[in-house]
Each structure stands twice: as C-alpha cells, then as structure tokens.
Structure 1
C-alpha cells in the first residue's frame, strides 16, 4: 500500500513538472512572438523615417595644392531630387569652379587622384543645362568673399545617392574645387586651374 502511495505521489510530481514546463514553453513562445513583433515594428519605423527624411550625406573638404581651404558639403535626397549645400572657408577672394570628379580618392597632394570630371553619359564639357551638352559633374562657378568664405547651393534630379543608376549615383565620386573659374568652353575640363580642395563622396 505504501509503495502504491509513493508511486502516485511520484506520478503527481511528474505531472506538475510537465505542466510547469509546458507553461514555461508557452510563455517563451509568446515572448519570442512579442520580440519578433517589436523587431518588425522597429524596422517599419526606420523605413518610414527613411522615406520621410530621405537620404543625407555629409563629407569634409581637405586642402590640396598647398591651399588653405576647408569646408563641409551636405547632400540630401528628397524623392527624385538631390540638393547639395557646401560651406567653404580659406579661399582666395573671387570666382572658383566646382565639379564632381570620377573617383572618391583624395590621397594625392594635387587632387589628381580624383580623376577627371564625372561624365557617365560621355558628353562634352559645358555649362550645366547647355543644349550643346555638359558633364553630370559640371556644377559651375561660385564666388568667395573678401574673407575667403563661400556658400554653394545646387539641386538636380540628375543625381541620386546610392541608387542603381550609374549615370546618376554620386557615391564613389568626389567634389573638387579649383583655384580659378570654369570658362565652360575649354575641353575637357573648363581650364579652371589647379585643384585646391577635394572631398570623397562615400557612405
């Protein structure tokens, strides 16, 4: 009789343990499901934020050819349009050319490691929007004040930040500032003089 009671108690204990394990597993499963839901919500929020705010990228300008210039360039994309805003200092007063060049390589002292003008559509050099043609990197000229400061603003739907279109994607290119101004005529680069600043466009 005693053995029967002990057996019954053992069976009851095992049943209780199994019940607890089942409840724990159910709770774990429920928690896992909640965690997955939270992760998905966070992903959705990030994607919504990216859709609303668009892509933004800031790069720093470094001096070249023994110049004293420096600066910061911000690219931001809203739907199909990219806006560039550049703030420079340390320039000589007067007009300077600014272009996008082929490579995001600013390692050389003269900035020539950046390659030539970015020209994915194989057009002649010219003023932006010219019927005769222009490079996708032909931004144009800007003027530095007597203190050597300048702000450049430019926007276009012919660029993109990190898209799959190689004729529009500016990632992997560079921003080059020249000592002189672009004449918009001389081939292949506008005869703008030495490269005095370089900024690689990378993420």
Structure 2
C-alpha cells in the first residue's frame, strides 16, 4: 500500500474511532417512564408536572412546579396512596416507605423511598429541578412509584422529624401514572 493510498483511508479510520468513542459515552438505557400532574389542594394555586424515567438502577425525577412561595424551600415527597380525592391532600396517606426506613435526605442510604430533594422556588414562585435517585423504581418491585401519590408541602423539610420532616400542609397532590 502506498503512502497516498493509506492517507485516503484515514477519514474512515477516524470516523470509526469517533463512533466507538460516542458509543462508549452513551447514557444508560431509558427504561419505563411515569409522570404526575400536580393539582392544587383547596385554597392553593400550586401546579406542575413531574417526570420519572428509569435509568438502569436509578430514576431521573424532573419537572417544573409553579405557584410556590417565592424564594422559599418546600418539602416534596412520594406518598403511599395514589389518592388525591380529599381537598387537603391527606387522602394520599403518609410517605411511601415500603422498606420501613427512616426519613432523611433523598439519595442518602437507608432513607424512605418517598424522600425527594426539596424544591427551591425562584422569585416568581417556580421550581425547576432534575435529580437522579436510587431507592425508587418505575414499573417494578416494592419501590415502584407508579400508582403512588406525589405531594408538594408548604414548608421546608427539616430532614430530622420522623417520619415526615415536619414539612407542613399539602399545597398540591398528584397520582404518579405510567406512560
């Protein structure tokens, strides 16, 4: 093979190397998905949409929630019952806790499956978030969030008070449904 002939093959070689490099950096395979459309409880205006996407052994939880107290932190949890029929959101029951774990910071080992990161509202009362969490699943197992309630609370989670975090009243409720 001549030098000139080998030189013309370089683009094909570099293209194959680039393709392998991109394939090696691919994100985990997307698994089942679910979503929740938050509706305000009586006397409140909080609404939003939250997506749950299974990514291998983690679940990406992301969304946008509006109608929160501006520049404030709000507790945010998955609750045991997919029932938002009461005006105050209490029909959703307590925190989703299928393994009998303690309440604490989402993502820490040994905490409730229902523990989610707190919401941080901006100056307009909107919180946009995305977190990848272990300890929950979409569509399978004891930690499956499908059919559970999703609650936005009025106050910050103190991460200490058991079993709820002392997050106050329920501003919005949704049922998590498989998509």
CA RMSD of aligned residues (A): 1.8
Q: Which residue of structure 1 lines up, in the alignment, with residue 90 of structure 2?
A: 112
| C-alpha distance in structure 2 between counterparts of 1:138 and 1:117, whole Å | 8
For the residue of structure 1 that corresponds to 2:177, the secondary structure is coil
Q: Does the alignment pair 1:103 with 2:74? A: no
Moved over 6 A (4+): none
- Name which structure has the greater RCO, CA cutoff 8 Å, separation 6+: 2
Where does structure 2 lack aligned partners over 5 or more consecutive residues? 1-27
Choose between structure 1 and 2: higher helix proportion: 1
Q: Which residue of structure 2 lines up, in the alignment, with residue 192 of structure 1?
A: 167
For the residue of structure 1 that corresponds to 2:138, the secondary structure is coil
Shift in CA distance, 53/143, structure 1 to aligned 2, threshold 3 Å: closer
Aligned residue pairs total: 150
TM-score normalised by length of structure 2: 0.77
| C-alpha distance in structure 2 between counterparts of 1:58 and 1:142, whole Å | 17
Q: Does the alignment pair 1:151 with 2:128? A: yes
For the residue of structure 2 that corresponds to 1:120, the secondary structure is coil
Q: Does the alignment pair 1:56 with 2:33? A: yes
| C-alpha distance in structure 1 between counterparts of 2:33 and 2:94, whole Å | 25
Highest Rg: 1 or 2? 1
Q: CA deviation at 1:54?
A: 2.5
Q: CA deviation at 1:129?
A: 4.2
Shift in CA distance, 157/141, structure 1 to aligned 2, threshold 3 Å: closer
Shift in CA distance, 65/194, structure 1 to aligned 2, threshold 3 Å: farther
Q: Does the alignment pair 1:90 with 2:99? A: no
| C-alpha distance in structure 2 between counterparts of 1:86 and 1:122, whole Å | 27
Q: CA deviation at 1:127?
A: 1.8
Q: Which residue of structure 2 lines up, in the alignment, with residue 121 of structure 1?
A: 99
Contact 1:69 1:90 survives alignment (8 Å)? yes
Where does structure 1 lack aligned partners over 5 or more consecutive residues? 1-50
